[in-house]
C-alpha cells in the first residue's frame, strides 16, 4: 500500500483527473479508519476514487496552511474481492514520483497465518494497544506503535477472517514501513520476520 504525501500545488490537479473522486461523509467507516491510523485532528476531509480502495485526504501540517494531502491505497492482496487495478496503482505511483525525490512514501508488508498470534508473547517485547470500535468495544485488532526500528512505523495485528467474513481462521500481521525513496525499497524485513516469529511462538 504506497502512501505518498502530495504537494497540493504540484500534484493534486493531475490526481483529480484519474476519475471520479467522491467526498467521504464525516460518519463514514473509511474516514474513521483513516483517523484511527493517524492523529485524530490530522484528517480534514477525504475522497474516494470510483468506489475503489483508493483515497486521498487533506491534512493539517505544522504551518496550518493545508498544503498537503496524502494518497492511501488499500487491499492490494484480498481474499473476498478484487483489489484495485494494478495498472491504475502503477499510474498513480509514477505520477506522484515523476521528476521528484520529495515524495515521502510507505508500504504495508503483510504476513497471514492460520492461527491466532500469541498476543502475550508480543506484550513481552512491545507495548500493544487494543483497538476500540466506535461504540467503545474492544476488538480483535492490536497496534504496536513503537517497534524499535526507525523504518517500521507501526505493526497492526487483526482477525482477517472476521474483518472480511471469511471461513476458517486467518490472522494478519501488517507492518507499515517507511520508504524515504520509493525507488530504493530497502525494507527492514529481518526485523519484521522476528516479530512474526514472536507472534508464532518460535523465538529464542
Instruction: Give the largest Cα separation in the chain, rounded.
Output: 52
Residue 141, Cβ neighbours under 10 Å: how many? 18
Residue 40 has pLDDT above 70, yes or no: no
Which has the higher per-residue pLDDT, 182 or 193? Answer: 193
The 10s digit of each residue's pLDDT in 107-162 is 888 999 999 999 999 999 999 999 888 788 889 999 998 888 778 888 999 999 99
CA–CA gap between residue 153 and residue 145 (Å, rounded): 7
What are the tens digits of pLDDT across the range 50-84? 888 888 877 766 665 555 677 778 777 777 777 77
C-alpha to C-alpha distance for 25 and 167, rounded to whole angstroms: 31
Q: What residue ranges do the domains of the chain occupy?
A: 1-103, 106-204
The pLDDT, as a whole number, for residue 177 is 83
Q: Residue 79: what are its φ and ψ, rounded to 5°?
A: -105, -20
pTM for this model (two decimals): 0.65
Is residue 177 a contact partner of residue 188, using CB atoms and an 8 Å limit? yes
* Residue 202 predicted with pLDDT over 90: no
Ordered strands of the 171-179 beta sheet: 105-113, 171-179, 152-159, 138-144, 128-132
Assess whether pLDDT exceeds 80 at residue 164.
yes
Residue 11 grid coordinates: 500534484
Amino acid at each position: 500500500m504506497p502512501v505518498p504525501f502530495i504537494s497540493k500545488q504540484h500534484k493534486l490537479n493531475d490526481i483529480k483527473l484519474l476519475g471520479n473522486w467522491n467526498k467521504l461523509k464525516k460518519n463514514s467507516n473509511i474516514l474513521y479508519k483513516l483517523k484511527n491510523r493517524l492523529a485524530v485532528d490530522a484528517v480534514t476531509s477525504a475522497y474516494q476514487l470510483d468506489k475503489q480502495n483508493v483515497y486521498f485526504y487533506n491534512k493539517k501540517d505544522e504551518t496550518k496552511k493545508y498544503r498537503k494531502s496524502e494518497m492511501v491505497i488499500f487491499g492490494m492482496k484480498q481474499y473476498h474481492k478484487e483489489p484495485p487495478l494494478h495498472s491504475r496503482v502503477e499510474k498513480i505511483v509514477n505520477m506522484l514520483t515523476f521528476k521528484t525525490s520529495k515524495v515521502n512514501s510507505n508500504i504495508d508488508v503483510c504476513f497471514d497465518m492460520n492461527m491466532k498470534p500469541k498476543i502475550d508473547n508480543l506484550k513481552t517485547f512491545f507495548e500493544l494497544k487494543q483497538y476500540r470500535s466506535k461504540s467503545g468495544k474492544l476488538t480483535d485488532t492490536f497496534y504496536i506503535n513503537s517497534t524499535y526500528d526507525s523504518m517500521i512505523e507501526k505493526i497492526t495485528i487483526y482477525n482477517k477472517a472476521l474483518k472480511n467474513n471469511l471461513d476458517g481462521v486467518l490472522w494478519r500481521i501488517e507492518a507499515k514501513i517507511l520508504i524515504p525513496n520509493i525507488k530504493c525499497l530497502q525494507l527492514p524485513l529481518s526485523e519484521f520476520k522476528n516479530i512474526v516469529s514472536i507472534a508464532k511462538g518460535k523465538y529464542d
